[in-house]
Amino acid sequence: MKPTRAAAMTLLVLLAGCAPGHPGAPGSPSTSPTTTASETASPSPTPTTPVPMRLTKELTHGGAEQVLKRIAKLHGNLPALKLDVSETELTVTLLTRQQQPLTLRWRDEQIVEVDSDVQYLGQSTFHPTDFALGNIDGMFTTAETLGAKGGDKVLQIVEYRPGEVFMTVTTSPESKTVFFTRDAQPVRNLGFSSVADITQGITDVVAGARSAAQVGFAPDIGYWLDLPPNAGVTERRSRTGALPVFVTRRNEATDRPFFDPAAIDPLVLARGIEKYSPDPAKPCRVEIDSRFTKVAPTVRFDCDGRIHWTDLMGQEYAEAELS
């Protein structure tokens, strides 16, 4: 009987060791692992690559948008530092929440993480979905007609100037860079005499501004708009050649009154150029500002060294009448 009694005591000790330390139903929060609030709020781990992805469209015919949407879903719609798209692959460098570049590439029906020489040095970021990428092949064709001939074409979105993110198409080896607007329209060279070109040039630099210190254009420097100075700094928007509008700043201020550039009529300017410089080989420099008080704003036409003054309606004045 003693061995039996000893065995029973051993069994009771084992059962006691398996019992919970305090009352509570098995599996209750008090006895099972929990997820803290901080763990719940933290981003999901970076997806492991490769990630299989078969496109339903060609990469340059809508497939790029599919890839970018998938990447945004995987990585939380992070901003991008650079995007390259060719006929066969898409490479995008994202900026992580830790301010580190992360480069991903789609090729051969999978997304993989790749090494890249892109560094984050405070440059501007962008979201690829803000650009029209549904017909990249069409942009390749347009770029070909505008001089980007030969080689493999690559669409690229990247900071081109400080604070300015542009979309371009180039060839490899590079022959010519063609710039495109965010809605996939090519940035073309503009003339300085037709109503259409003057309208486009002024529209590009005005870009919704309701006040200007000066608006002008000339063949050697393109179209420009000077915004009212801020803290002694004047910001100039420029549109030259086949380049998008870019911004420069100079430590300079003017005491001239400002005006609404919406009052400018390109037809009046084109007629003035035709009147004062009928020879297309002798283009005019046109400046619009409020340098005079009797009539403001005024238009200054400098055509082959001869100066003419009008108001915004085209009424001509001698300089003595304005001073």
Please give the tally of structural domains in the chain.
2
Q: pLDDT tens for residues 21-42?
A: 333 333 333 333 333 333 333 4
Residues 200 and 176 reside in one and the same domain: no
Report yes or no: 198 and 269 within 8 Å, Cβ to Cβ: yes
Residues 204 and 298 reside in one and the same domain: yes
The predicted structure's pLDDT at residue 150: 83
Cα 188 from Cα 58, distance rounded (Å): 28
DSSP helix/strand/coil, 41: helix
Residues 200 and 159 reside in one and the same domain: no
What domain range includes position 292?
195-322
Residues 77 and 160 reside in one and the same domain: yes
Residue 16 lies in a domain: no
Cis status, amide bond into 297, omega within 30 of 0: yes
- Reported pTM: 0.77
Residues 59 and 172 reside in one and the same domain: yes
pLDDT above 60 for 202:
yes
Residues 318 and 217 reside in one and the same domain: yes
Residues 62 and 169 reside in one and the same domain: yes
Q: Which residue has the tokens 């090494």?
A: 115
Range picked from 8-12, 19-23, 82-86, 244-248 for highest mean pLDDT: 82-86
How many CB atoms are located within 10 Å of the residue 184 CB? 17
Residues 292 and 214 reside in one and the same domain: yes
Report yes or no: 247 and 227 within 8 Å, Cβ to Cβ: no
Residues 271 and 294 reside in one and the same domain: yes
Residue 8 lies in a domain: no
Q: Which two tokens stand for residue 29?
A: 């929060």
Residues 233 and 256 reside in one and the same domain: yes
In the predicted model, what is the mean pLDDT of residues 78-105? Answer: 98
Residue 307 lies in a domain: yes
How large is the C-alpha radius of gyration of the chain? 33
Q: pLDDT tens for residues 133-178?
A: 999 999 999 999 999 988 899 999 999 988 899 999 999 887 789 9
Report yes or no: 103 and 118 within 8 Å, Cβ to Cβ: yes
